[in-house]
Amino acid sequence: MVLNWKYGGLLLGLVFFLAVLLVKPIGVSTQFVILDGIVWDMQNPEIVTQTDEGYTSTNAYLAKSGGKYAKSVANPVNYSFIFVIAMMVGALVSSSLRKGIPKGERMVPAIWKANYGGNVLKRWLVAFAGGFIVLYGARLAGGCTSGHMMSGMMQTAISGYVFAAGAFLAAFPTALYMFKEEG
């Protein structure tokens, strides 16, 4: 089952609209920091502490915003963290439901195979490195790709449009350079 891109775009827009209307704008990169904090706190329970004023941390990033991030580490069951987990589960379910594409092609698309061979691990490492670079740049700008581009543009924030332009200005030449052979 493959969802037509037009319907997928409309569905994505509706989900973003409902998220902003009912909860808050979507942004997820901070939740990966929260996940790091949860693992860190499991190894060293002194990282996050609760005081009479709220939560704090010996880590400056977790302590900022009045201990909001430290509180999320101590109590991870919240909308944003569940949203990130649901994204990963949704991607797994979506990948599992795709019909008409041979299982091997899901792991290594034809265009990747034409340019770099069929090594799945190599593809995953390159995808991880690319995702890390984008996430690092977005965090340097004070947000994340979904927060800047999708939620930001939906709220007509200039930073959202600037980030989107930068992302596409970098993505097109990178794709042309990386995928010279057609799949």
Long-range CB contacts (< 8 A, 24+ apart) of 23-26? 23/79, 24/79, 25/147, 25/151, 25/152, 25/154, 25/155, 26/83, 26/146, 26/147, 26/150, 26/151
User: For residue 81, is pLDDT > 90?
Assistant: no
* Higher per-residue pLDDT: 30 or 102: 30
71 pLDDT exceeds 70? yes
pLDDT above 60 for 104: no
How does pLDDT run across 110-128, given as a tens digit for each residue? 888 899 988 889 998 999 9
d(CA 95, CA 71): 34
pLDDT of residue 160: 84
d(CA 32, CA 20): 21
Domain borders along the chain are 1-100, 109-183
19-48 pLDDT, tens digit per residue, is: 888 888 887 778 888 888 999 999 998 999
Q: pLDDT per residue over 130-172, tens digit each?
A: 988 887 877 777 777 777 788 888 888 888 888 889 888 999 9
Predicted confidence (pLDDT) per residue in 2-25, tens digit: 678 899 889 888 888 888 888 888
Q: What is the pLDDT of residue 87?
A: 85
Over residues 62-67, the mean pLDDT reads: 86
- Sign of the dihedral through C-alpha 68, 74, 79, 85: positive
Question: Residue 138: what pLDDT?
Answer: 75
Write down the pLDDT at residue 103: 62
Give the pLDDT band of residue 89 (cuts 50, 70, 90).
very high
144 phi and psi angles, rounded to 5 deg: -140, 170
